[in-house]
Amino acid sequence: MDKNNQTFVSEFLLLGLSGYPKTEILYFVIMLVMYLVILTGNGVLIIASIFDSHLHTPMYFFLCNLSFLDICYTTSFVPSTLVSQISKKRNISFSGCTVQMFVAFAMGSTECLLLGMMAFDRYVAICNPLRYSIIMSKEVYVSMASASWFSGVINSVVQTSLAMQLPFCGNNVINDFTCEVLAVLKLACADISLNIVTMAISNMAFLVLPLLLIFFSYVFILYTILRMNSATGRRKAFSTCSAHLTVVGIFYGTVFFMYAKPKSQDLTGEDKSRISDKVISLFYGVVTPMLNPIIYSLRNKDVKAAIKYILKQKYIP
């Protein structure tokens, strides 16, 4: 395209649920409540993991990282989305869109790796319990978490840089709530084959490989559990894995449904397909971080005891 015909895009327009005022009101209330639950639930888990010495284990360290990650991710877009619902200003600056995309990529990539690390932790705890404290020493699990964060940030820098350096020729309407990368790439007036290739490599490294680690870890875990003679031991082993498996199922199920489902090519019109895509996007972006602390603490006696202890120390002289 002739450079003279290109128009520099300084901001993007996020359509969200514009055109559906009643739905927007309901959406605002639901989003606000969910965001407060996310801050409260994940915040309590982080505080409990830090201040209760009984939770100073690899599993709760990874869980603490996961909670912090969920707070960062939702904070990158929920407050601005709520403000746009009130002010009716749906524009987001180019830099703001870049930040949203960067945080989404970094947090999503890191979460995939952390879920894989947590599966490995459960594998060592159940299949090799006598050497657990040696294999999963503090130096090891801190290094594992640090590597996850570092890899996620590097992946985000690469993907965001490649996406946001593309030329955008005037069309700045994103039919979504956030600056989702695929929606932004549709607006580019240049070849995006390099973006597609790098995203495919990224998906293999940050989605498929951790999922394979999770799968094989639980294959060995299941084999070990079935060989246990004690029914009590089998129930205890299953209970320690059920929360993690639930979170993995919700996370990967939503991600694969989002990106495997054919997208509507209409950028301005609303149809049932686009509404469905947006609801799934909401589920992935808000519901999953909200459910994580609930799932991990609902049947977890250690977390419940830690929360009660902290509240007792704070409110009872």
Average pLDDT, the chain: 84
The percent of residues in the chain predicted with pLDDT above 90, rounded, is 43
CA distance 260 to 283: 16
Q: Rounded distance, CA 65 to CA 63, Å?
A: 5
Phi, psi of 271 (to 5 degrees): -145, 175
Yes or no: say if 47 and 303 are a contact pair by the CB < 8 Å rule.
no
pLDDT digits (tens, 9 = 90+) for 125-177: 999 999 999 999 999 999 999 999 999 999 999 999 999 998 888 778 887 78
Q: What angle do CA 246, 252, 257 make, to 5 degrees?
A: 125
Q: Give the Cα separation of 305 and 300 in Å (integer).
A: 9
Please state the separation of Cα 145 from the chain's center in Å: 15
pTM here?
0.88
Span 197-212, pLDDT tens digits: 999 999 999 999 999 9
Find the helix packing angle between 21-51 and 58-75, rounded to 10°: 150
CB 59 within 8 A of CB 118: yes
Taking the C-alpha atoms of residue 69 and residue 149, their distance in angstroms, rounded to an integer, is: 10
213-217, 269-273, 284-288: segment of lowest average pLDDT: 269-273
Q: Could you tell me how far CA 105 lies from the centroid of its own chain?
A: 9
Residue 225 CA: distances (Å) to CA of 75, 124, 128, 176, 228 = 40, 13, 12, 45, 5
